[in-house]
Structure 1
Amino acid sequence: MSIVRVIARPMLAASFILSGIDRLRHAEQTAEQLSGVLSRVSDALPVAASEKTLARVVAGTQIGAGVLLASGKFSRGAAMLLTLTTGLSTFVEYRSADSLTKEAKSHRRSQLIKNISLLGGALLASVDTAGKPGLGWQAEHLIKSGKKSTKKQLKKADAGVRALAHDVKGH
């Protein structure tokens, strides 16, 4: 892993981890803020779950994914989870933020820009293969290799059949 990744992943993850801890500490406020979304999720679940419990799950997911990203373990999947949870939070925070005064509008805009920047960083991390080929490339390479191998085997089989046919004709 490059030194940039060693430094940058924890730097990016820190904001998500701290945000998740804050959301977990203030689960009631988080549940209230995300109530529109969490109530739909709660209704869709086969098991009854309160909005406060779901808010804790979102916060725990953000903390866990942040720790995974920071440590470089399952970082692409963790970054995708962070993108989803942060995207949801960004949307809800923007819609519910105070915009009555000029200062409030400025703060709302600053928070939106910060959150969008974090989303961009998480999206980049979700596609970062750390210099290793991604699954798409690996699958394509495997198919090409399989085609080459099959072609060679068919050529060998054809040559064998032709040689056998030649031997049968000669006898």
Structure 2
Amino acid sequence: MSLVRFLARPMLASSFVVAGLDKLKNADDTAKQLSPLLRRAAESLPFPADEKVLARVIGGAQVGAGALLALGKCSRFSASLLAGISILNTFVEWRSADISTKEGRLARRAQLLKNISLTGGVFLAAVDTAGKPSLAWRAEHLAMDAKKATGKQFKKTDRAVRKAVDNAVGA
């Protein structure tokens, strides 16, 4: 792992870990803030779910994914999960921000820009292969190599068969 990744992943993850811990500690406030979205999510689940429990699940997922990203374990998956959570947080914070004053509107704008920046950072982390090709790239190139090898082998076999036929007919 490069020095930049070694330093940047924990730096990026720290914000998510702290926010997730806050969500876990203040599950009532989180459930209240997320209430419109959590209510819809609870209705679509096949089992009964409490908004407070869903808020804790989101907070726990945020802490877990942030910790994994910071440690560099399953970093692409955890960054993808954090991207989804970040989009959710951005939407909720945008909706619930106080815009009755100029200061409130400026704070809402600053928070939006911070959330968009964090989302962009985890999107980059989600596609970062750390210098190693992705599984899709590897599969695509393996298929192309197999196709080339098969084509060469087919031509070689075709020449051998034609030569054998010419020798058999000519004999």
> How far apart are 1:55 and its partner, in Å?
0.7
Quote the Cα distance in structure 2 between the aligned partners of 1:69 and 1:22: 18
Who is 1:143 aligned against? 143
Q: How do 1:57-76 residues align onto structure 2 when only pairs under 5 Å count?
A: 57-76=57-76
Q: Distance in 2 between matches of 1:18 and 1:83?
A: 16
- CA shift, 1:168, in A, is 1.7
CA RMSD across the alignment: 1.1
- Counterparts of 2:92 and 2:7, CA distance in 1: 30
Note the alpha carbon deviations across 1:11-67, whole angstroms, 9 max, x for none.
000000000000011111111111111111111111111111111111111111101
State the secondary structure of the residue aligned to 1:29: helix
Gaps of 5+ in 2: none
Give the match's secondary structure for 2:129.
coil
In the other structure, the counterpart of 2:13 is 13
- Percent identity between the two aligned chains: 56
Tell me the CA shift for residue 141 of structure 1. Answer: 1.0
Aligned to 1:29: 29
Code of the residue aligned with 1:154 in structure 2: it is F
Q: Partner of 2:168 in structure 1?
A: 168
Give the aligned partner of residue 124 of structure 1.
124
> Following TM superposition, where does structure 1 have runs of at least 4 consecutive aligned residues deviating by more than 4 angstroms?
none
The 5 Å alignment of 1:37-52 reads 37-52=37-52
Q: What letter corresponds to residue 98 of structure 2 in structure 1?
A: D
Please tell me the residue identity of whatever aligns with 1:26. N
Q: Indicate the residue corresponding to 2:91 in structure 1.
A: 91
Deviation at 1:97, TM superposition (A): 0.8
Q: Which moved more, 1:69-78 or 1:153-162?
A: 153-162
Report the alpha carbon displacement of residue 132 of structure 1 after superposing the two structures with TM. Answer: 1.1
2-structure distance, mates of 1:90, 1:99: 15
1:109-153 Cα offsets, whole Å, 9 max, x none, are: 111111111111111111111111123322321121011111112
Q: In structure 1, what is the Cα distance between the partners aligned to 2:38 and 2:157?
A: 62
Which residue in the other structure is 1:77 paired with? 77
Residues of 2 paired with 1:153 and 1:43: CA distance?
58
